[in-house]
Structure 1
């Protein structure tokens, strides 16, 4: 099992990694700003739930498939890029509706939760990162490597939940004010579309 010192040091590193700018941070920031605190937290919970899949993939060796197979990696990353393009299209459509002063329909918490899961699971680079990162903190001398991997994954999810949760809370508060202004809504939706489009291109062009 994990020692206290090892778990604490791993948690500290995980917090720093969650704070580092990246696609997930931008995703949480834009979704929270567009839909508010509660919706942003639903996205965060979805992203953290997606991490369960990546942790299990490492624990059972499935992540190694994406590291070894160019085809599997490409299929998954293209699926993620297409989903981000779909989100970009939705943001640009919402921008058009805001221009006509028609209020865009707010996504449900369940839809945003699923959006977070899909966003996370369709990024193969997360699995590859876990495959390279988690084993550095495991050792057969401390018992089951699979159980240690699951414990590390849980700590990483906790760190992500805390950091992304705070990001969603503060950006969501700003978003709730922005939603009162049609001009600000148009600008925010346009920005969200550009961000999602950029993330889609970055993911599609990424290498293992």
Structure 2
């Protein structure tokens, strides 16, 4: 469905976007530092789901909504900023009572189905609300879809499959590396408290970035 030249250009474009740290990567790494590598990987799975939503919308032509209704983008970014500030508040609260026992309990709970679903959901929402993702799937992604090849949705799902495979591999590797610090933090409650504060500041920064972003196009 996709010619070789288009695929090569697509891979080059995706490579540049993936290696450039964005909200999704920062979000997953922050989760890995706070709850261990498993938490980061569950978040990465959620990010892949969120990006699939964007790709599906692009394949159906729904991504054009932001061009014709700028207010929709404003509502999206406000909601995203509020959501990230809420996560920042939760991390700050955790820093006030951070202990080694709390971290160990968190990492045990992370293996549970409910928490895994929660982490994946947060990752998906972060991806859906990410200005970087909105820009890519609104402006660039449709350029790689060829109506002459037919089945735009099928083309979108094929391309997002490639993106998710690369994206998950990169983010999971970073999460595994960052997650090692959480094991060290288990024996250092004071540093654990500061780590939670740093994660909180990261979420505040992401919220500001979302709130100040402008609609693509």
- Report the equivalent of 2:7: 7
Rounded to whole Å, the distance in 2 between the matches of 1:124 and 1:203 is: 6
- Is 1:103 aligned to residue 102 of structure 2? yes
| CA displacement at 1:160 relative to structure 2 | 1.1
Q: 1:177 to 1:64 in 2, by over 3 A?
A: same
* Unmatched segments (≥5 aa) in structure 2: none
Would you say how many aligned residue pairs link Structure 1 and Structure 2?
Answer: 207
Q: CA deviation at 1:163?
A: 1.1
CA contact (8 A) 1:138 1:148 kept: yes
* Residue equivalent to 2:46: 46
C-alpha distance after superposition, 1:60-110 (max 9, x if no partner):
111111222121111111111111011000010000012x77726625222
Q: Over aligned residue pairs, what C-alpha RMSD do you find?
A: 1.9
Out of 136, 147, 153, the residue aligned to residue 140 of structure 1 is 147
Q: Deviation of residue 9 (structure 1)?
A: 4.2
Structure 1 residues 5 and 177, CA, compared in 2 at 3 Å: closer, same or farther? Answer: farther
Whether the 8 Å CA contact 2:101–2:186 is kept in 1: the answer is: no
Contact 2:85–2:203 (8 Å) recurs in 1? yes
Aligned partners of 2:52, 2:70: CA distance in 1, in Å? 23
Deviations 1:99-145 (A, max 9, x none): x7772662522211111011112235523321211222222333333
Q: Is the 8 A contact 2:28 2:175 kept in 1?
A: yes
Q: Which residues of structure 1 form unaligned runs of 5+?
A: none
Structure 1 residues 152 and 137: alpha-carbon distance in aligned structure 2, compared to 1, 3 A threshold = same
